[in-house]
Amino acid sequence: MPEILLTTLNAKYIHSAFGLRYLLANMGKLQPATALLEFDINQRPLDIAEILLRANPKIIGLGVYIWNVEETTALVAALKRVRPDIVVILGGPEVGYEFEEQAVVKLADFVITGEADLKFAEACELILSGAPPREKIIAAELPEFSRLTLPYQLYSEQDVAHRIIYVEASRGCPFTCEFCLSSLDIPVRQAPLPHFLSELEKLLASGAKQFKFVDRTFNLNASVSRQILEFFLARWKPGHFFHFEMVPDRLPEPLREVIAKFPPGALQFEVGIQTFNEEVGELIRRRQNYERLADNLRFLREHTGVHVHADLIAGLPGESVESFAAGFGRLVALGPQEIQVGILKRLRGTPIVRHDRTHGMLYSSHPPYEILQTSKIDFVSMQKLRRFARYWDLIANSGNFVETTPLIWQAEAQSPFFAFMAFSEWLHAEAGRTDSIALVRLMEFLFRYLSEHSTVEPQVAARSLWRDYQRGGRHDKPAFLKDFLTEESPERRSQRNALLPKRQARHQARTF
């Protein structure tokens, strides 16, 4: 039985606990006495407690995040109630700042703040030796990458087959955006590249095909980024998929050259634009060149097969609905495959709180601490934005309605934002919910809206929806479309890369 258990509640089963694997890899002489168990937030805390207690550990280390803090609090309460002798150590961003009044912190024995890769093992050694740390809050120093054992050998065959494989070439962020915890993590530190690439080689040899880089600014060092991309390009096989978070206004020619060589759908770039309002950007200390950003996005869409996932944040201080709408329209015109409309969250430790009084920022007191209203966006309008974001994800980002979505605004020559907002409010009135809407029912809602509440002809809407439906590899013609599809609307076979993640494959698909 292990003396030490590392565990967390992932948001989904397919996610893997990357941070815990770093801790396990760096346990040193305690590694044989340490085990890792992963759960997800859909499992009952009491059931998780039973599994953990069955192993009879002396120490339990728990990763605490914004998505699992409530469930983790219930879990720790149960553990300490049944076995108060077990030492519970917390870590993770949710307990790294403003921890004094947190219920989960009060329940635990120790909390390690910062990057605990080496500090966790040190704390465990002291506890097992009978001389535990004197202070409950243990501040970890920033470890040098050269001192860390990389964790990639700890991905199992099951992980490779069923989970997202997280990797990182660097840590830290040079920017100071006030809404983001990464702005507190300076300086940027690079993993030793030869050793890192050799570990990636082993992962590829083990059958890993989909890699998600967690670097906050993958393309900050263009030379290193190019070497990593060239490494993957030289080894690319069908089904390989690589996700990177990119600085949107930094794409020099050497990077463009190698990016353009990848097959369609092999790369996904997450680009955090967040706002097109330069005054808001200055207010929250987000620096970016909008002209260069736009040029880079046009290049990616026109000259590469990159799947572009662009982020905007609603509810930033100083941003009105009209300002957000204008930025949303600019982004739609640049044509990314996905636009993630995020609602501002008040993450613990971030300096965004300095705007609370000046800009009337009111946040939910419960995770994920989303903004409720600002001086420029009242609560009702923020609720509408929340629905907009959910429906946009279901309709536009899903890839199920690639051809049909633009009809919502193109038919009326309207602003994409306000046209989709009108549809969003109509859909909410009709469906009464923002989740668990079956695909065919969602199609029927779209057809009704376009044919009854816009100038789109029913036959045009039907043909568009039918082509989108087939794009996903489906051929069962929905009954509500049949009367509007003529013999000139034959079934068409979809061509898409079935080896890509489904969402990205639908965006890449073509029909013939």
Transcribe 77-88 into DSSP letters.
HHHHHH-TTSEE
Answer yes or no: do 139 and 168 share one domain. no
| Residue 389 placed within a domain | no
The predicted pLDDT at position 511 comes to 38
> What is the spatial order of strands in the sheet that 110-113 belongs to?
34-40, 4-10, 59-63, 87-91, 110-113, 137-139
Shared domain for 206 and 351, answered yes or no, is yes
Domain contains 386? no
Task: List the one residue out of 351, 443, 355, 357 whose CA is nearest residue 394.
Answer: 443
CA-CA distance, 218 to 214, in Å (whole number)?
Answer: 8
Give the residue ranges of DSSP H helices in 55-171.
Answer: 69-82, 103-107, 119-128, 157-162
Q: Assess whether 225 and 108 both reside in one domain.
A: no
* Domain match, 319 and 249 both: yes
Q: Are residues 138 and 169 in the same domain?
A: no
> CA-CA distance, 52 to 2, in Å (whole number)?
11
d(CA 231, CA 263): 15
Last residue of a domain, one of 109, 143, 177: 143
Does 408 reside within a domain?
yes
For residue 254, say if its preceding peptide bond is cis, omega within 30 degrees of 0. Answer: no
What CA–CA distances, in Å, run from 127 to 140, 167, 194, 221, 433? 16, 31, 36, 41, 50
Please tell me the distance from the alpha carbon of residue 113 to that of residue 137, in angstroms, as a whole number: 7
> Does 20 reside within a domain?
yes
For residue 218, give the 3-state DSSP assignment: coil
Radius of gyration for the alpha carbons in the chain, expressed in angstroms and rounded: 24
Last residue of a domain, one of 113, 143, 173: 143
264 and 413 in a single domain? The answer is: no
Tell me whether residue 210 is in a domain. Answer: yes
Domain count, the chain: 3
Enter the DSSP assignment of 352. G
User: What's the number of CA atoms in the CB half-sphere (13 Å) around residue 471?
Assistant: 23
Contact residues for 168 (Cβ-Cβ < 8 A; gap 6+)? 18, 191, 213, 214, 215
Whole-structure pTM value: 0.92
Identify whether residues 135 and 169 lie together within a single domain.
no
Whole-angstrom distance, CA of residue 226 vs CA of residue 78: 49
CATH number, domain containing residue 215: 3.80.30.20
Contact yes or no for 400/383 (Cβ under 8 A): no
- 252 and 299 in a common domain: yes
Instruction: Give the CATH number of the domain where residue 124 resides.
Output: 3.40.50.280
One DSSP character per residue, 282-342 reads HHTT----HHHHHHHHHHHHHH---EEEEEEEES-TT--HHHHHHHHHHHHHH--SEEEEE
Which of these, 481, 423, 414, 417, lies nearest to 450 by C-alpha position?
423
Q: Is residue 384 part of a domain?
A: no
In this structure, the answer to whether residues 349 and 419 fall within a common structural domain is: no
Q: pLDDT in tens for each of the 512 residues of the chain?
A: 899 999 999 999 999 999 999 999 999 999 999 999 999 999 999 999 999 999 999 999 999 999 999 999 999 999 999 999 999 999 999 999 999 989 999 999 999 999 999 999 999 999 999 999 999 999 999 998 889 999 999 999 999 999 999 999 999 888 888 898 876 766 789 999 999 999 999 999 999 999 999 999 999 999 999 999 999 999 999 999 999 999 999 999 999 999 999 999 999 999 999 999 999 999 999 989 999 999 999 999 999 999 999 999 999 999 999 999 999 999 999 999 999 999 999 999 999 999 999 999 999 999 999 999 999 999 999 999 999 999 999 999 999 999 999 999 987 778 999 999 999 999 999 999 999 999 999 999 999 999 999 999 999 999 999 999 998 888 899 999 999 997 555 555 555 566 677 777 777 764 32
Examine the domain organization and report whether 132 and 172 are in the same domain: no
Task: Give the angle subtended at the CA of 447 by the CAs of 445 and 452, to the nearest 5°.
Answer: 95
In this structure, are 179 and 138 located in the same domain? no
In this predicted model, what pLDDT tens digit does every residue of 486-500 receive, in sequence order? 755 555 555 556 667
HEC readout, 463-494: HHHHHHHHHCCCCCCCHHHHCCCCCCCCCCCE
Residues 341, 194 share a domain: yes
Q: What is the pLDDT of residue 317?
A: 97
Domain final residue, candidates 112, 143, 174: 143
Quote the CA–CA distance of 315 and 361 in Å, as a whole number.
9
Cα gap 406→416, rounded to integer Å: 8
Task: Quote the domain boundaries for residue 499.
Answer: 399-512
- H runs (alpha helix) in 365-457: 379-392, 407-410, 416-431, 439-453
Task: Please say whether the beta carbons of 412 and 454 come within 8 A.
Answer: yes
